[in-house]
A and B are shown apart, each in its own frame.
Chain A
């Protein structure tokens, strides 16, 4: 697709493109508090509004697609957008920029905490954090339940929830089996038409 003359200028500007990719995803990584899903508006600002790497519709498609796949949303978005702009290199630059800064901060902060683990008041610090995380998880749990109720209907959501409790918590079946079973169930053409959208 790229001619010989164009190739040289493309290579020259490749560095600038990579720098832009790095800057965009670095900003998203550092400004997005609350995990990947809460950073989605930031992706939109950088990729659509600021750098015009994609249109609104393309962004919507990418997001919808990323949502159908498992795994963290932020790295799927970063990797895919980076790949679209500048191939494999673009993909790697985008991933590096969105992941590395905060991983390094984690290692640094938790490293300090580990070092003073034996000290009574440091230990008490980390104990005090546990119920706060509990509250955050409780809120997240409710969030997932509420969304289930809204999208599946409460009756079906509750049946599935109770089933999941029995299988995973009472019978101690690994969640992988349940999730894979559900995946298979989704793609089996149902005779009863039980799976209304």
Chain B
């Protein structure tokens, strides 16, 4: 049943993504692209790009949209529920206990130890994106776009939404020629 798959696809990243929404991006990709095959890496990239260009939490934007694509309004609701509810409910229920332990070294170690794992997942995803781009746009285009967007984002600190918009315009023009 599709709703159960949608629930699982977002529930797992929701309970494993230590480090906020961005940490769950590679976990979502693993489920949505690798496991269920709902979209290709490039399509996932589009969703991520539009998601990054829009304001608001990234995890729920991705869940809401992908859920909608796979199961309509109900699918969207299921995906959002699976993303939000587990950790929020835990937080509300365990509030008193958690407040007591929030400074304990074990609890602090959780995020610390899981961070490198998330970094590896993000790194693997990065490589995958560059491979996809090389396959579809060619190596030269990819290198040029990479250097320009890195320069704009990191050196000039241009707003991501603007950089994505520029890339879209560039792609459109290049496609017309």
Question: How many residues from A make CB contacts under 8 Å with B?
Answer: 87
B56 touches A102 (CB 8 A): yes
B21 touches A182 (CB 8 A): no
Main secondary structure on B side of the interface with A: helix
Main secondary structure on A side of the interface with B: helix
Q: Write out, one digit per residue, whether chain B residues 75-93 have a CB within 8 A of any chain A CB (1) or not (0).
A: 0100010011011101110
Q: Which of A128-150 contact B (CB under 8 A)?
A: 128-141, 144-145, 147-148
In this assembly, does A23 line the interface, its C-beta being within 8 Å of a C-beta of chain B?
Answer: no
B105 touches A32 (CB 8 A): no
In this assembly, does A171 line the interface, its C-beta being within 8 Å of a C-beta of chain B?
Answer: no
Question: How many residues from B make CB contacts under 8 Å with A?
Answer: 103
* Contacting residue for B159 out of A33, A35, A139, CB 8 A: A33
Considering only CB atoms, which chain A residue lies closest to B134 in the complex?
A: A131
Q: Write out, one digit per residue, whether chain B residues 21-34 have a CB within 8 A of any chain A CB (1) or not (0).
A: 11111110010000
Given contacts A29-B56, A91-B92, A141-B119, 5 further A-B contacts (CB under 8 A): A36-B21, A74-B21, A106-B47, A106-B51, A175-B27
Which residues from chain B sit less than 8 Å from chain A, CB to CB?
A: 12, 14-27, 30, 42, 45-52, 54-61, 64-65, 68, 76, 80, 83-84, 86-88, 90-92, 95, 98-99, 101-103, 105-126, 129-130, 132-133, 136-137, 141-142, 145-146, 149-150, 153-154, 159-161, 163-164, 167-176
